[in-house]
Amino acid sequence: MRALQAVTAERADDALLSVRGLTVRFRLRAGRTVAAVTDVSFDLAAGECLALVGESGCGKSVLASALLGLLPANAQTQGTALLADGPRDGTQPQDAAARTGESGRRADGPVDLLAADERTLARTVRGRRIGLVPQSPAAHLTPVRTVRAQLEETVRALTGTPRRERRAAAEAAAERAAFPVGHLDRYPHELSGGLAQRAATALALIGDAPLLLADEPTTGLDRALVDRTADELRRHADRGKALLLITHDLAAARRVADRVAVMYAGRIVEIAPADRFFGEPGPRHPYARGLLDALPERGFTPIPGLPPELSNLPPGCAFAPRCPLATDACATRPELLAGVACHHPDGAPRA
């Protein structure tokens, strides 16, 4: 895999997705707000897999929902998320809805996902330019239609495949996602959690979208199926597409990622090439080191304490109450510099 440079202050010319200052706040009763995602920036290139990792509740899935325009009505977003031009292999979506947006604009041109309206996102982005493997597949499967019917309808909508060829295309998508062909005529409520996850993965792979967003795609799968699913997602990137893998499964991230971004309390605290992150010299942020130390093969040492409430974040470094390296300097929030947001990167005070 390619070891790509960490995010820089300027947009990368070859970025398929360029996110700058993405912030998501949820308005609650009595004027309270929850800072779910704060000032997140990164680039994602075609042919690259970026793994976004961190404990549950750190904001990973909220970030994914923001990119797809799937946040609830009480959400407020800031920043930009520029999705670059559509397919770069000379192909174009086949149906008219995919080719043009409102006012006859080309729907495969650059689009700011945070500023786009619902019509644009629904007709030209979701499924066509961004494929989604959802965290909760049962909520994304139609309960009154079989898996086969949903796959064939998705084949028709995204590729324009003739009716006589849709059955084979649906079965090919199921095979890629390790979904048993013998279960294709079942309804979602007849599936186990793992089978529902694989059905959702098959649906996401059909459109061969330039960007695939996989939100916890290995939930409910045994290790062998985790590896097979991860490898199929990696093949998507190897075909010149981009993959944003959101996961708490560090073994899956290590298997497929080019770069790793670590989130804590809504912020990216480290972003690094995967070979350096999982190998030598290893993570630079104490929280990232703690995540690796919690793996069974590295001692199974849990990070002490609990993540902070997103509605009551400390004014400085959010990890300081759990960090063995915390000093008075940590009362000030560290900036993301040289790929790490910490006053004590590598265990030493920052110069």
- Residues 301/295, Cβ–Cβ less than 8 Å: no
- pLDDT of amino acid 12: 56
Predicted local confidence at residue 107, as pLDDT: 59
Rounded CA-CA distance 194/174 in Å is 13
Homologous superfamily of the 15-129+209-347 domain (CATH): P-loop containing nucleotide triphosphate hydrolases (3.40.50.300)
Alpha-helical segments (H) within the chain:
60-68, 96-99, 118-120, 147-159, 163-176, 193-206, 223-238, 250-256, 274-278, 286-293
pLDDT at 31: 81
The confidence score (pLDDT) of residue 86 equals 53
Predicted local distance difference test score (pLDDT) of residue 140 = 85
Predicted local confidence at residue 14, as pLDDT: 83
Mean pLDDT, 10 residues at a time, over the chain (351 residues)?
38 83 93 93 97 94 96 96 69 44 56 97 95 88 96 94 95 95 96 93 94 93 92 94 96 96 97 96 96 88 91 92 94 95 86 59
pLDDT value for 6: 39
Report pLDDT for 42: 97
**pTM for this one?**
0.89
For residue 91, what pLDDT is reported?
42
Do 169 and 159 form a contact (C-beta atoms < 8 A)? yes
- Supply the pLDDT for residue 109: 85
The predicted pLDDT at position 201 comes to: 95
Q: Quick count: other Cβ atoms within 10 Å of Cβ 110? A: 11
Q: How far is the CA of 225 from the CAs of 113, 142, 182, in angstroms?
A: 32, 24, 17
Give yes or no for a contact between 234 and 243, defined as CB atoms under 8 angstroms apart.
yes
Q: Helix, strand, coil proportions of the chain in percent (round to 5)? A: 35, 20, 40
Q: Identify the CA nearest to 265 among candidates 44, 81, 56.
A: 56
Q: Mind giving me the DSSP string for 189-213? A: GGS-HHHHHHHHHHHHHHT--SEEE
- The pLDDT value recorded for residue 87 is 46
Name the β-bridge partners of 39. none
Q: Are strands 75-83 and 211-215 parallel, antiparallel or unpaired?
A: unpaired
Angle at 83 between CA 230 and CA 270, to 5 degrees: 60
| Domain ranges within the chain, ordered by starting residue | 15-129+209-347, 137-207
